A = this chain, B = another copy of it.
Amino acid sequence: MAKEKNVEQITDMDVDFAQWYTDVVTKAKLIDYSGVKGFFILRPYAYALWENIQKELDRMFKETGHENVSMPLLIPESLLQKEKDHVEGFAPEVAWVTHGGSEKLSERLCIRPTSETLFCEHWSNVLTSWRELPMLYNQWCSVLRWEKTTRPFLRGREFLWQEGHTLHETAKEAEEETINMLNVYATLFEDFLAMPVIKGRKTEKEKFAGAVATYAVECMMHDKKGLQAGTTHYFGDGFAKAFDITFSDRENKLAHPHQTSWGVSTRMIGGLIMTHGDNNGLIIPPRIAPVQVMIIPIASHKPGVLEKADELTAKLKAAGMRVKCDKSDQSPGWKFAEHEMKGVPLRVEIGPKDIENNQCVAVRRDNREKEFIPLDELEAKIEALLEEIQTGLFNRAKKNLQENTRPAKTLDETKTLIEEKGGFIEAMWCGEETCELKMKEDAGVTSRCIPFEHKKVDEKCVVCGAKAEKMVVWGVAY
């Protein structure tokens, strides 16, 4: 396949995974760097991917009764400070607006790092009766966090996300919402991004600033590090009290509602790249791929080839697939490499010989398997291949997760496993933060989550040996 390497070489992922990642996001034309550190440009191909993800997620939000809104970009400093834990968590990393035009502002305004405070202020204005509950809101926007180190998709000073914010009559309803939305996220990751997840609860140390409880979906990347892919938060009525949000309940008494928030971001595109990619570039699961099938005419100067390529394109498009035909004046080899770099799940080649035999050649991006497809069965065969790729990618990632998740009973065992093999550790935890910190200090791992799917690995805490009921998944994370 040497002739296919006419696209600039990318770094070998097993030699330098971080450099491989940077190479892929630029060479696949996902990202350009702007003049301000940590602010990334999402080029058309990345944005199309984000739109496909948005479409599925937005559909699921609406099916579960949520409505979209738009909140302001700026938060007055005094508003940010209303909830004590929240401001402590976010104030150190916000960007401050001090001037509007030539006028110095009487109060600094921060660019939203997240919008809990804005939603609370709005709700304190509009909520009156239990009849208006639940309020199930979502917002698609960008937020800013002034991070020290930044990487495309994974950690930006600005990133695109959705933030759901909901108000409920009862604590029970709000708690259910956090679990329901975590399940929506799990569906998105597993069924569309082909990324298997571990669902669980965060420890007190790792939870969101101001939350009573935080839940997360955690994934494992190709390099066996963890990625927190999405979180949902239960707030109780803490914010409602801090912001004086009240309503007349069914007994006509004044009550505080219970609240949640939840979010996923373009970070998941980073996760997608690090889950499925290989040394030829990106691999995008068919269900969210901007282009599912790239048709490449071979010997396109020969009579009938371009016409046939157009015909196949039209047929697949009519069958509902996202298909393109690359008729540029580049060589087929150049095109193969280009669309492999961009992770197009399936390539279809059509040349004079194929036309003669009433067939085309389909080449899978995930395993490079080649198949001759009779043109009479084109749509059905291609659709089946796309499904196979989707499932194949999920199974490969699932295998990576399962094979690299190992139980440990002691801190020493944990250290050895992490040093020698990496991956996730399943180990019991007594619930004390000192033990959690010791795991970080000695073995370099943080608690990823306390999985809903409990396994009794041992009776005792992996660090202090005290009786332990909780099983925690630990790992090195992005």
Contacts and interface: CB of A to CB of B under 8 A. Distances in A.
Interface of A: 32-36, 39-44, 46-48, 50-51, 67-74, 76, 79, 92-103, 109, 111, 118, 121-122, 125-126, 131, 137, 141-142, 144, 146, 157-158, 160, 328-329
Of A93, A94, A96, chain B has the most CB atoms within 10 Å of the CB of: A96
A67 to B, nearest CB: 4
Contact of A97 (B46, B47, B92, B97): B97
Contacts of A121: 34-35
A96 B97 contact: yes
A239 to B, nearest CB: 16
Question: Per DSSP, are chain A's interface residues mostly helix, strand or loop, or mixed?
Answer: mixed
Contacts of A43: 69, 126
11 contacts: A34-B121, A35-B79, A40-B72, A41-B122, A43-B126, A70-B160, A72-B158, A73-B144, A92-B102, A98-B99, A131-B329
Nearest to A42: B70
Contacts of A125: 32-33
Nearest to A159: B70
A39 B126 contact: no
Contact of A99 (B42, B51, B95): B95
Contacts of A33: 125
A41 to B, nearest CB: 5
Given A42-B70, A92-B102, A95-B100, 9 more contacts: A34-B121, A35-B76, A36-B109, A41-B122, A44-B69, A94-B101, A95-B109, A96-B100, A98-B99
B122 A34 contact: yes
Contact of A158 (B73, B96, B142, B328): B73
Contact of A34 (B67, B97, B111, B118): B118
B97 A111 contact: yes
Contact of A47 (B36, B39, B50, B67): B67
Given A34-B72, A36-B72, A44-B67, A99 B99 contact: no
A212 B103 CA distance: 31
Contacts of A39: 72-74
